[in-house]
Amino acid sequence: MTTPVALTIAGSDCSGGAGIQADLKTFAAFGVYGASVVTALTAQNTQGVTGIHEVPAEFVTAQIEAVFSDLAVDAVKVGMVARPSTIQAIADALKRWTPKHVVVDPVMVATSGDRLLADDAVGTLRQELIPLASLITPNLPEAAALLDEEIATSEAAIERQGERLLALGCQAVLIKGGHGQGPESIDYLFDGARTLVLAAPRIATRNTHGTGCSLSSAIAAGLARAEDLETAVRTAKIWIETAIANADRFSVGHGHGPIHHFHRFY
């Protein structure tokens, strides 16, 4: 039996709730073997980020080469990339190895509000990495930042931004509505042919650390398992909704606690 393999290229969260650690937990929850390439070490916890130590671009390349030269990678998730040189190294490697599925989560700001992407890296992200993506998964502030626009506050504005993001060269866009208002959190999936509106109840909890990382990883896991994009997105949304709903079963940290990645098991 072939083992589905997903690779996360992202930053490390020493508190275990987001980044590489959340991605690997997500892959495991979906029965997918997870590999990882660390782009940065962060000193962070549920209350905030106190330090970032970037991995040199050439060592990011070395990690990617080590994984792809041995493992049959079915899907790649790209998270925190920090600097232009790191983004360029990742883009060059993805062009060499041409994985079938690439999910890019344009991580710019942590749940705590701390900035994770340098201002001078946004242009490189747009030009080099997004055109290689099967799917990008920005939230409302990230979508606006990628386009240098105001945050969309209406469905019409979200649809305009979705179309503009598609024009950057990616195959599909999922704009996440977790930062919106109202009783429902509404995500919009654009694939160039249609727009899917995906609503879920907004859950009242402060324990949302790592939500964006985990959702994009759940989609990558579905793609690694040979699901089509719509199925992978819908399945990931149901899983993340339940993981958030069960987050208060944990008592971890004093800030924005983690979601419950393994709610299916305990």
Active site residues: 176, 208, 210-213
Can you read off the two tokens belonging to residue 24? 């690997």
DSSP bridge pairs for 54: 40
CB count within 10 Å of CB 95 equals 10
Contact 48, 13 (CB under 8 A): no
Contact 212, 137 (CB under 8 A): yes
Cα distances from 138 to residues 43, 145, 192, in angstroms, run 23, 9, 17
Residue among 36, 51, 174, 179 at smallest CA distance from 115: 51
**d(Cα 110, Cα 113) in Å, to the nearest integer?**
5
Strand, helix or coil at 165? helix
Task: Give me the phi and psi of 198, to 5 degrees please.
Answer: -120, 105
Strand-pair category, 75-78 with 101-104: parallel
